[in-house]
Amino acid sequence: MAGRIPRAFIDDLIARTDIVELIDSRVKLKKAGRNYQACCPFHNEKTPSFTVAPDKQFYHCFGCGAHGNAISFLMEYDRLEFVDAVEELAGSQGIEVPREEGGKQQSAQQVSQIKADYEIMQMAADFFSQQKTAHAESEKVQAYIQKRGLSAEIVQRFQIGYAPAEWDGLLKHLGRTQQAATQLRDLGMLIENDNKRLYDRFRDRLMFPILDRRGKCIGFGGRVFGDDTPKYLNSPETRIFHKGKELYGLHQARLANRRLDQLLVVEGYMDVVALAQADINYAVASLGTATTPEQIQQMFRYTDEIICCYDGDNAGRSAAWRALENALPYLTDKVKMRFMFLPDGEDPDSLVKQIGKVEFEALIDKAEPIEDFLFKQLAEQADITSLQGKAKLSELLNPMLAKLPEGEFKLLLAGKLAQTLGKSAPAKQTQNNIKEAKQKQASLNAKNSSKATPVRTAVALLLESPQLATTFSHISEEQLQLLGAIDIAGIRLLVDLLIFCRHNPNHNAGQILENWRERPEHSMLAKILAWDHHVTEENRQKVFLDIMENLLLLFVKQRKEVLMTKARMGLIEQSEKQELETLLKM
Can you spell out the DSSP letters for 263-328?
Answer: EEEES-HHHHHHHHHTT---EEE-TTSPPPHHHHHHHHHH-SEEEEEEESSHHHHHHHHHHHHHHG
Cβ contact 106:100 at 8 Å: yes
Check whether 479 has a pLDDT greater than 90: no
What's the CA gap between 149 and 34, in Å, rounded? 54
Q: 563 and 466 in one domain?
A: yes
Confidence of residue 427 (pLDDT cuts 50, 70, 90): very low
pLDDT, mean of residues 136-163: 96
Q: 156 and 65 in one domain?
A: no
524 in any annotated domain: yes
Confidence of residue 483 (pLDDT cuts 50, 70, 90): confident
More confident call, 80 vs 341? 341
pLDDT at residue 585, as a whole number: 66
215 in any annotated domain: yes
What is the per-residue pLDDT across 187-226, written as a single tens digit (0 to 9) for each? Answer: 999 999 989 999 999 999 999 999 998 789 999 999 999 8
**For 17-151, where are the alpha helices, taking DSSP H only?**
19-24, 70-77, 82-92, 108-134, 138-147
Q: 257 and 236 in one domain?
A: no
Q: Give 12: exposed, middle or buried? Use CB within 10 Å, 0-12, 13-18, 19+.
A: middle
pLDDT at residue 108, as a whole number: 65
156 in any annotated domain: yes
More confident call, 120 vs 561? 120
pLDDT at residue 1, as a whole number: 44
Return all residues near 319 (Cβ < 8 A) that are at least 6 apart: 267, 290, 291, 310
224 in any annotated domain: yes
- CATH code, domain carrying 174: 3.90.980.10
Domain limits at 315? Answer: 250-376
* Whole-Å CA distances, 510 to 15, 52, 53, 298, 465: 8, 11, 10, 26, 12
pLDDT at residue 425, as a whole number: 46
Cβ contact 257:270 at 8 Å: no
What's the CA gap between 409 and 182, in Å, rounded? 51
Cβ contact 248:301 at 8 Å: no
What's the CA gap between 371 and 412, in Å, rounded? 10
- CATH code, domain carrying 292: 3.40.1360.10
* Total domains present in the chain: 4
Q: 135 and 77 in one domain?
A: no
Strand order in the sheet with 58-61: 30-32, 35-38, 50-53, 58-61, 67-68
> Which one, of 581, 580, 573, 556, lies nearest residue 486 by Cα?
556
Q: Give 416: exposed, middle or buried? Use CB within 10 Å, 0-12, 13-18, 19+.
A: middle
pLDDT at residue 173, as a whole number: 96
Strands 263-266 and 283-285: parallel
* Whole-Å CA distances, 74 to 70, 79, 88: 6, 7, 8
Cβ contact 451:443 at 8 Å: no
- CATH code, domain carrying 66: 3.90.580.10
* Whole-Å CA distances, 183 to 53, 108, 196, 293, 309: 47, 17, 15, 30, 37
Confidence of residue 382 (pLDDT cuts 50, 70, 90): confident
437 in any annotated domain: no
What's the CA gap between 216 and 277, in Å, rounded? 22
What is the H or E stretch that residue 226 is in?
A: none
Boundary of a domain, candidates 101, 126, 143: 101
pLDDT, mean of residues 412-440: 61
pLDDT, mean of residues 50-66: 90
Q: 580 and 454 in one domain?
A: yes
Boundary of a domain, candidates 324, 343, 376: 376
Strands 336-342 and 305-311: parallel
Q: 541 and 495 in one domain?
A: yes
What is the per-residue pLDDT across 310-334, written as a single tens digit (0 to 9) for each? Answer: 988 888 889 999 999 999 999 998 8
Q: Is 102 left (phi over 0), alpha (psi -120 to 50) or beta?
A: left
Cβ contact 270:234 at 8 Å: no
Confidence of residue 346 (pLDDT cuts 50, 70, 90): very high
404 in any annotated domain: no
Cβ contact 183:120 at 8 Å: yes
Terminal-to-terminal C-alpha distance of the chain: 57
Confidence of residue 568 (pLDDT cuts 50, 70, 90): confident
Render the burial of 506-523: b for 16+ CB within 10 Å, e for the rest.
ebbbbbbbbbbeeeeebe
What's the CA gap between 6 and 209, in Å, rounded? 31
Q: 572 and 469 in one domain?
A: yes
32 in any annotated domain: yes
Q: 173 and 295 in one domain?
A: no
pLDDT at residue 172, as a whole number: 95
Q: 455 and 578 in one domain?
A: yes
What is the H or E stretch that residue 329 is in?
A: none
What is the per-residue pLDDT across 33-55, written as a single tens digit (0 to 9) for each? Answer: 889 999 998 888 888 999 999 98
pLDDT, mean of residues 404-428: 75
pLDDT, mean of residues 25-38: 92
Cβ contact 29:52 at 8 Å: yes
pLDDT at residue 437, as a whole number: 46
Q: What is the rounded average pLDDT for all residues in the chain? A: 87
- CATH code, domain carrying 468: 1.10.860.10
550 in any annotated domain: yes
What's the CA gap between 425 and 438, in Å, rounded? 21
pLDDT, mean of residues 548-569: 80
Boundary of a domain, candidates 328, 345, 376: 376
What is the H or E stretch that residue 66 is in?
A: none
Check whether 430 has a pLDDT greater than 60: no
pLDDT at residue 448, as a whole number: 47
Strands 232-234 and 217-223: antiparallel
Can you spell out the DSSP letters for 433-490?
Answer: HHHHHHHHHHHHHHHHHT---HHHHHHHHHHH-GGGGGGGTTS-HHHHHHHTTSSSTT
Q: 274 and 342 in one domain?
A: yes
Q: 30 and 61 in one domain?
A: yes
Q: 300 and 232 in one domain?
A: no
What are the beta bridge partners of residue 198? 192
